[in-house]
Amino acid sequence: MLPKDFQWGFATAAYQIEGAIDKDGRGPSIWDTFCAIPGKIADGSSGVTACDSYNRTAEDIALLKSLGAKSYRFSISWSRIIPKGGRNDPVNKAGVNHYAQFVDDLLEAGITPFITLFHWDLPEELHQRYGGLLNREEFPLDFENYARIMFQSLPKVKNWITFNEPLCSAIPGYGSGTFAPGRQSTSEPWTVGHNLLVAHGRAVKAYREEFKTTSDSQIGIVLNGDFTYPWDSSDPADREAAERRLEFFTAWFADPIYLGDYPASMRRQLGDRLPTFTAEEKAFVLGSNDFYGMNHYTSNYIRHRTSPATADDTVGNVDCLFYNKQGQCIGPETQSPWLRPCATGFRDFLVWISKRYNYPRIYVTENGTSIKGENDLPKEKILEDDFRVKYYNDYIRAMVTAVTLDGVNVKGYFAWSLMDNFEWADGYVTRFGVTFVDYENGQQRFPKKSAKSLI
């Protein structure tokens, strides 16, 4: 059984749903700039309008309430708060007031806000001014300042998340160039990851020392991860490779927070491309989680490679596959090439995290699926999303099993996503929502079958 105070809810991100990119003093973010580059977004779209949620907060709260949500995880647009981003730049009161009113309205509706401070949308000015996430000195200080403003401005909020999926800022943003700001480098992802960890630690220290007012107030970081199984379970090299992939994906960030340093496997492969924590940085980072935020969607079979790792390898010198040596498939296809349902992997990953980090309090901050060809279906077919219903049923059962049989301490579950939205480089081609958004007819919302069966 799940605890009585278990938080059921849905999750979204500012750039993916808000739109209104130039309203009430918001400054541009790196995603505004990135979307304007031809060929970067699958359908040539952007978050200019998205789901128009900035102008529809009452409608979105009514939707949440109708679906029985106890909580709502959403993110703040940093460039709405400080349009230029920096600690010496002006604060935009209209942006602060918008989120303060939204929090009040959520609480009045009986919905607990879980706020993410950074979901990939860095103010463009900071990227131009000093390289943004690449700057080891300036970025952590500017993020701490922004975090302090939000902590002070939203005192009723008790659940804070610093960063969403720092890996996705680091590797697609600075390695492959498929996410904003679109840089390609073999060294920059590791620098960015390090700076995000230090910025997280600084914000947590500030919150704990100056803003945490009640024992149930909490702050943490959200890490993504796919679970891994060896391609050949009888091969020790594949078993080791599967573990190494988990370390490159998830332990890259979780190990410094819970254990004090990067995994040894990463240091062996990356050498001095992986930064070393100073004593001051380690003091900020170690122990800087009140809970573990877990984003999880899929699993892979992992096969070791015999040749040395190439300079651009970011996954631990392994092959990530959907079929194992026996030809067994990990799960059915979805619209997302990287995602195939495997509920067993969800349970096993919860157990892996719990054992490695001494059974922390876990919130499943994202979990969900796309459906192959969903966007091409007529609306009435999209609303009958049985594939997504099955996904959620299977994954939630796996989570309950992990709690009841494996002793995992899960305190909440947020489905991704409350509604179809701007799916980053995939634009609007891919839908993850439990609510259909009719982009061609004024962003109207229509709950799908999954929305009505989830909570």
Exposed/middle/buried for residue 175 (C-beta within 10 Å: 0-12, 13-18, 19+): buried
Look at the block and give the residue holding tokens 């997504």.
388
Q: Is the peptide bond before 233 cis (omega within 30 degrees of 0)?
A: no
Q: Active site includes 125?
A: no
Contact 254, 325 (CB under 8 A): no
Active-site annotation holder among 165, 188, 247, 423: 165
Which token pair is 64?
């949440």
Look at the block and give the residue holding tokens 């892996």.
352
Active-site annotation holder among 247, 366, 374, 423: 366
Query: What's at 1, amino acid-wise?
Result: M
Q: Active site includes 366?
A: yes
Beta partners for residue 114, in sequence order: 73, 159
| Helical pair 93-108 and 57-66, crossing angle rounded to 10 deg | 20
- CA distance linking residue 128 with residue 271, whole number of Å: 29
Please give the helix or strand (H or E) that residue 115 lies within, else none.
strand 112-118
Beta partners for residue 218, in sequence order: 159
Which token pair is 121?
């949308």
The one-character DSSP state at 173 is I
200: left (phi over 0), alpha (psi -120 to 50) or beta: alpha
Q: How far is CA 174 from CA 90, 182, 314, in A?
A: 28, 6, 11
Contacts of 198 (CB under 8 A, 6+ apart): 136, 140, 281, 284, 285
Select from 46, 116, 132 the least CA-distant residue to 84: 132
Which token pair is 453?
């069966």
Query: What's at 254, amino acid-wise?
Result: A
Active site residues: 165, 366
